[in-house]
Amino acid sequence: RLGYSKKGWTNTAIGIKYAKHFESHTRTKAQGRQRFLYLDGHNSHASTPFLKHCVENKITAPGYPSHGTHVYQSLDVCIFSPLKTQFAKERDEHLRMTGEPITKENFLTIYGRTHLKVLTPELIKTAFRKVGIVP
């Protein structure tokens, strides 16, 4: 699911939408048990509506220490580098085949191919294990 703001940064409204999305997509599998939603240190996750939603839905939302996500955040540790590399390949291939640069109109198509190739369940589980969070 994608969200955006006019300024291009996350905000409180996007944060609460994300919490609701997470809750709805994990509810059945959790079977009433506590869930964990690991977060970066951005203040959009510390809003009263966000935290209230988490408490009401048995979601524990620990945040990584500020300026430390490059060490702790599982996606930064071993996913974004291959994602960036593959996106560059997809971008170059798109340019070679069409002669068109990346635009707002074609970005999601190009990124979508990258996403499907890189963000596999196996790689995501490995990323969490590498930082000591075993899914």
How much is the pTM?
0.66
| Domain contains 82 | no
pLDDT at 25: 96
DSSP labels for 85-124? Answer: HHHHHHHHHHHHHH-PPP-TTTHHHHHHHHHHHH--HHHH
| Domain contains 89 | no
pLDDT at 108: 93
| Domain contains 15 | yes
| Domain contains 59 | yes
Domain carrying residue 16? 1-63
Among 115, 109, 25, 43, smallest CA distance to 75 is for 115
Q: What is the percent of the chain where pLDDT is above 70?
A: 87
| Domain contains 38 | yes
| Domain contains 7 | yes
| Domain contains 105 | no
pLDDT at 58: 97
Q: Sign (positive/negative) of CA torsion 20, 128, 79, 115?
A: negative
The DSSP bridge partners found for residue 6 are none
Q: Looking at per-residue confidence, does 59 or 127 come out higher?
A: 59
